[in-house]
Amino acid sequence: MLSKITNEYKVFRAAPHNMQVLLATNMLYALVLPIVEVFVGAYIMRNTSSPAFVALYQLAMYVGIVFTSVINGYLLKHFRVNHLYMIGILISGMSMVGMMMISQLGVAELAIAGFAMGAASGFFWTNRYLLALNSTNDDNRNYFFGLESFAFTVASIIVPLGVGALIAGLSGQHIFGIEIDVNYSYRIVTIIATIIAVIACIVLSRGHFENPEQKNFLYFRYHPLWYKMLSLASLKGLVQGFLVTAPAILVMKLVGEEGSLGVIQGISGCITAILVYVLGRVTKPKHRIFVFGAGLFIFLIGTIFNGILFSATGVIIFVLCKVIFQPLHDLAYVPIVMKTIDVVSAIEKRNEYAYILSHEFGLFIGRASGLIIFLVLAFHVSEDFALKYALIIVGTLQLLSLPLSKHIINQSNKLENESK
């Protein structure tokens, strides 16, 4: 066992320096991400008791992502990409702390908090993609995203269990004469998350990252292959709009407490952690479509169980499937995006950020569409109906990603071979 760990460490140390630094940074931030994705939604549910308010927060967040993604393109002309990435990491921590300090969550407060978190995410995800794109190549991206997904999955085990236990354990206690209620426990958690975010920024500062040479990043016409990639991004966004909040809403509604949310996330994460690391080590670019398809069908199965049972058991099965689906999907999806950017940017001779930015617009269309489906069903039928069937609808629609991604992979390979 020790020899295997030593060998894996040697593989990591053999990777390029910037790739090591980026992986270390992302693995640290993996400890913060479950709090952003899971417990913020649970906090809103606890204080509003309305899934529609959670959806409103998410919609404001996605608007913030698009807004700062555009601003980020201009800032890249004047600031280093890793510094902008640090800003995204730090703002995510500070925006969580800010929301926890609000005494009453109304429409305006949620919209502002969601937009602020989206602003952080815009800086975080676009610069993360740019750094990963320039720190890896098509041959080592399966390893990079396999190890990163492993870290995110392990964090999805440890963090929800730890946070759930901390919130449950602190609530009702008296510390230094202060009565700790549930909301105060959330504040303590977000402060810890902010400290971890600062440490991640310190690690990132050890890298030597370069900004794109070409400064222009706004284009309105692209190669036909990139339009197909944007369609794939929209299909991903359909489901992504639900992944952040649906587990929290369903657990708080049908199971009842944050501790259960942590246990469910933790158990399902154990299976996935080993799976994604092994896949990242042994799979090649040719296997991506199989990994991608497996993730899509696992997610659909989970949504069907949730819709039919709509009980604590259904939620547990759905969250199990969701935690397995997410890293399998991203392990294949992100390298497909980056390979397409490699090919199309070489043909069009453009700044890679132009494609990362337009990719965010594609995701936004899908995310907004998914949330609109949920809100329409919630207000015109019922919230329970929306929670049962909106997930099945988007899970079924996302199956269109399978033939589309296969076509994109084949076209990318063909164009790459033609350019050699």
Using one digit for the tens of pLDDT, what is the confidence trace for 141-158? 878 888 887 787 778 777
Alpha-carbon distance of 373 to 389, in angstroms, equals 10
Task: Please check whether residue 130 is in contact with residue 88, taking contact to mean a CB–CB distance below 8 angstroms.
Answer: no
Band of residue 100 on the pLDDT scale cut at 50, 70, 90: low
What does the pLDDT read at residue 365? 92
Nearest to residue 227, comparing CAs of 407, 418, 420, 417?
A: 407
> Which is nearest to 138 in space by CA: 286, 311, 291?
286
261 has pLDDT over 60 = no
The pLDDT assigned to 89 comes to 87
Contacts of range 265-268, beta carbons closer than 8 Å, 24 or more positions apart: 265/34, 265/38, 265/156, 265/157, 265/160, 265/161, 265/319, 265/323, 266/156, 266/157, 266/158, 266/160, 266/161, 267/320, 268/319, 268/320, 268/321, 268/322, 268/323, 268/324
Q: Look at residue 298 in the predicted model and tell me its pLDDT.
A: 92
Q: What is the pLDDT averaged over residues 97-102?
A: 69
Q: Is the pTM of this model over 0.85?
A: no
The whole-number pLDDT of residue 268 equals 64
CA distance 137 to 149: 17
Residue 396: its pLDDT value, please?
A: 92
Domain positions in the chain: 16-205+222-419
Q: How confident is the model at residue 245 (pLDDT cuts 50, 70, 90)?
A: low
Are the C-beta atoms of 81 and 129 separated by less than 8 Å?
no
Mean pLDDT over 290-297 rounds to: 90
Averaged pLDDT for residues 310-328: 83
Confidence at residue 122, expressed as pLDDT on a 0 to 100 scale: 87
10-24, 192-206, 256-270: segment of lowest average pLDDT: 256-270
Place of tokens 């440490």: 199
The per-residue pLDDT for 296 is: 93
Does residue 259 register a pLDDT over 60?
no
**Mean pLDDT, residues 163-169:** 74
pLDDT of residue 382: 83
Please determine, for residue 214, whether its predicted confidence score (pLDDT) is greater than 80: no
Confidence class for position 240, pLDDT limits 50, 70, 90: confident
The mean per-residue pLDDT over the stretch 378-383 comes to 82
Higher-scoring residue by pLDDT: 30, 100: 30
Q: State the DSSP code for 398.
A: G
Least confident range of 17-21, 107-111, 390-394: 107-111
The predicted pLDDT at position 178 comes to 67
Cβ neighbours of residue 181 under 8 Å, at least 6 residues apart?
Answer: 171, 172
Determine the pLDDT at residue 239: 85
Mean pLDDT for the chain?
82
Q: Is the per-residue pLDDT at 330 higher than 90?
A: no
The CATH-assigned architecture of domain 16-205+222-419 is Up-down Bundle (1.20)
Residue 71 has pLDDT above 80, yes or no: yes
Average pLDDT over residues 170-193: 72
